[in-house]
Amino acid sequence: MKLVISSNSSWNLMNFRAGLIKALLKAGHQITCIIPRGEASQSLRELGVEIQEVYIDATGASLIGEIRYFFNLFQILLKTKPNYYLGYTIKPNIYGAFISRILGIKSILNITGLGSSFLKNNFLTKIIFLLYRVSLSSAHLVFFQNEEDREIFFHTGILINQKTIILPGSGVNINKFSIDYAPKTSEEIAKAEISKSDFNFLLISRLLIDKGIIEFIEAIKILKTEDRKFTAIILGPVDGLNSSGIDRAQLENWILQDLVIHHDFTDDVRPYIHNADCVVLPSYREGTPKSLLEAGAMGKPLIATNVPGCRNVIEDGLNGFLCEPRSSNSLASAMRKVLKMNNETLKNLGIASHKKIIKEYDETIIHEIYLNLIK
């Protein structure tokens, strides 16, 4: 069959959907990816897919930009005439579903999480709800990554009687993110040796307020006053285009205060996870966080907020700890718990993480669901 897969970035598809794309190609499907131009475009081509590049205004502030994206997407779908349209992220979901409805294409949409817009009860949220309600009304199927997000869509009337399925996130490649992973190349070894200390906390995320970056820094300050010995590391890019983004000057100030070490974008997080003793994500809301899945698969204890998405991955006290959202004190308390643990207890938390992830979040589970639906 002919499939179109659309997302708001090439990196998003390569990082979260490469395994699915490989599985669909192996099953004999022909795939076209509609994405903005990006560094990962060539990597996607090397998988064996056709690339159609479109312009997406990341800020959403340009009406001309929105119209341009809509008609570009329309032209590609009209020309490609796929059997199925697979959409990820807000704009490809909304515009793609609406166009698919016009052209008679079956659309399968994945609500990967409710972004910062959904955290605010404002005019923009109402517009997004309205657009989703119109576009999703004829969707063939809508995937969600947790029950709470699905309930919001039905409770607000965005969905009425559409078919929906809960997926365990985008899953994780348990062979790549193995508990037995060890750095082998000189580059991997160099990354793993960075910031080596007695105890490393690692947060993998774009630098956004909604990811709990501020609470992470405040929790570090609390623990530093107690003379706790540890290193805090943030791995992820500064997002200057996002209204929730952390200012680079603020980041530099934290670094100068010796509160945190920052590493920018990387195409392989495994050396950093390998070097971490505990992976933290104090996010305000998630779909199913990839960073926790990858760290858990590699046998790391986890700390995250007790919010949709995060609490599905962590069983409090078994493979990590849940803390209250937007609370630096609660986060500091959870981090303090793991700092006090001996090596054996920490190892058992990590083993429990590994067992949970391979049982519930192996990406082949998601691949089979897609393959059976399309077949």
Dump pLDDT digits (tens) for 99-121: 999 999 999 999 987 755 555 56
Residue 332 one-letter amino acid: A
**d(Cα 81, Cα 65) in Å, to the nearest integer?**
24
Range of 49-53, 62-66, 285-289 with top mean pLDDT? 49-53
Q: Which of 126, 161, 167, 158 is nearest to 309 (CA)?
A: 167
pLDDT digits (tens, 9 = 90+) for 324-356: 999 999 999 999 999 999 999 999 999 999 999
Domains within the chain, CATH numbers bracketed: 2-167 (3.40.50.2000), 186-360 (3.40.50.2000)
pLDDT digits (tens, 9 = 90+) for 205-263: 999 999 999 999 999 999 999 988 899 999 998 876 677 888 899 999 999 999 999 99
User: What pLDDT, on a 0 to 100 scale, did the predictor assign at position 129?
Assistant: 79
> Does position 64 have pLDDT exceeding 60, yes or no?
yes
**d(Cα 335, Cα 339) in Å, to the nearest integer?**
6
Q: Which of 23-27, 53-57, 210-214 has the lowest mean pLDDT?
A: 53-57
Whether the model pTM is above 0.85: yes
Q: Higher confidence at residue 82 or residue 126?
A: 82
If pLDDT is split at 50, 70 and 90, which confidence band does 193 have? Answer: low
In the predicted model, what is the mean pLDDT of residues 63-92? Answer: 93
User: What pLDDT, on a 0 to 100 scale, did the predictor assign at position 137?
Assistant: 85
If pLDDT is split at 50, 70 and 90, which confidence band does 124 have? Answer: low
Q: State the angle between helix axes of 90-103 and 63-80 in degrees (0 to 180), rounded to the nearest 10.
A: 50
> Does position 281 have pLDDT exceeding 60, yes or no?
yes
**d(Cα 143, Cα 166) in Å, to the nearest integer?**
6
Instruction: Determine phi and psi for 78, rounding to 5 degrees.
Output: -65, -40
User: What pLDDT, on a 0 to 100 scale, did the predictor assign at position 118?
Assistant: 55
- What is the CB neighbour count within 10 angstroms for residue 109? 28
User: Measured between alpha carbons, how far apart are the two ends of the chain, in Å?
Assistant: 9
In the predicted model, what is the mean pLDDT of residues 82-88? Answer: 96
If pLDDT is split at 50, 70 and 90, which confidence band does 320 have? Answer: very high
> Does position 204 have pLDDT exceeding 60, yes or no?
yes
Would you give the distance in Å from CA 330 to the centre of its chain? Answer: 23
